[in-house]
Amino acid sequence: MAGEATITLEVFRYRPDDDGEATIQDYRVPYHEHWVVLDALNWIKDHADGTLSFRWSCRMGVCGSCGMMVNGEAKLTCAVFLKDYYPSAIRVEPLINFPVERDLVISMDDFLAKLQAVKPWLIRDDEEPPGAEYLQTPSQLAQYQQFSMCINCMLCYAACPEIDGIPDFLGPAAIALAHRYNLDSRDQGQSERQEVLGGEEAVWGCTFVGECTAVCPKNVDPAGAIQQAKVASTKDWYRHVLLPWGKR
């Protein structure tokens, strides 16, 4: 790299099978204006240290697997350029609010369980006849389309100040996903999801800081989904109190 422009990456290292101590390791990496942080990590992996572990797949902001803390902010590393930090060093750490498995790899188990808890599929009361289609108008699609753009990157969980204090908080993406199905004209499962959504560890655990929406790379607006879900939850409660014999 003699004579070549370089930039320093300060990378979080944690190898539980070795010493078990987390450290920060510095790497000097070639600087190219068109490189993103993920390119620099891949250069390290290929040329400097093959033991470095991190997740990525699509390199185009679609798979949601490359989320990390970049200088303390939750980012998709395939979407942040070295030139935005050069010539300063860039610190790369695993997403906060998740257990670290190794280096920059976090455990997704709790996040996936929360997604599953909201029943993210179409629920119907009736038996679907073979070949049945449930058509939607463009305006019915528009009701939930924004909330279906989530790529499960988990940046909103790293940005959320509630997760640290309420580890069981359902969290932004899971609530936005539940709201997406509740708004779908083909779905009849709102009352089933309400049992999960209506508690202190779900919509009412959110204090509307809004950081989840600020970091979301897909403009999903999970904070907006949570506020709308609060309104729906309140209406559901009143319906239940005023019409206790009726269907929730």
Binding positions for ligand SF4, rule: CB under 6 A:
150-156, 172-173, 176, 215-216, 218, 220, 222
d(CA 155, CA 164): 14
Q: Could you tell which of ligand FES, ligand SF4, none binds residue 6, using a CB distance below 5 to 8 A set by kind?
A: none
Residue 212 structure tokens = 């989840």
DSSP string, 35-92: -BHHHHHHHIIIII-TT-----S-SSSSS---EEEETTEEEETTS-BGGGTTTS-EEE
**Residue ranges that bind ligand FES, judged by CB under 6 A:** 56-59, 61-66, 76, 78
Closest CB 45 distance from ligand FES, rounded Å? 14
Length of the chain counted residue by residue: 248
Which option in ligand SF4, ligand FES, none does residue 155 bind, with CB closer than 5 to 8 A by kind?
A: ligand SF4
Closest distance of CB 12 from ligand FES, Å: 18
By a kind-dependent CB cut-off of 5 to 8 A, residue 24 interacts, out of ligand SF4, ligand FES, none, with: none
Q: Which residues pair with 23 in a beta bridge?
A: 13
Closest by CA to 26, choosing from 2, 54, 6, is: 6
Q: Which does 11 bind (CB under 5 to 8 A by kind): ligand FES, ligand SF4, none?
A: none
Which residue, 58 or 243, has its beta carbon nearer to ligand SF4?
A: 58
Binds 63, which of ligand FES, ligand SF4, none (CB < 5 to 8 A, cut-off by type)?
ligand FES
Q: Measured from the CB atom, is 65 or 182 closer to ligand FES?
A: 65
Kindly tell me which of 63 and 100 has the beta carbon lying closer to ligand FES.
63
- What number of other Cβ atoms are within 10 A of residue 134's Cβ? 11
End-to-end CA distance of the chain: give it in Å, rounded. 66
Q: How far is the CB of 53 from ligand SF4 (least distance, A)?
A: 21
Say which residues have a Cβ less than 8 Å from residue 47's Cβ, sequence separation at least 6: none
**In the complex, least distance from residue 232 CB atom to ligand SF4, rounded to whole angstroms:** 18
156 binds, among ligand FES, ligand SF4, none (CB under 5 to 8 A by kind): ligand SF4
* Nearest residue (CB) to ligand SF4, 66 versus 151: 151
Q: CA distances (Å), 124 to each of 18, 119, 142, 180, 186, in order? A: 51, 12, 20, 15, 8
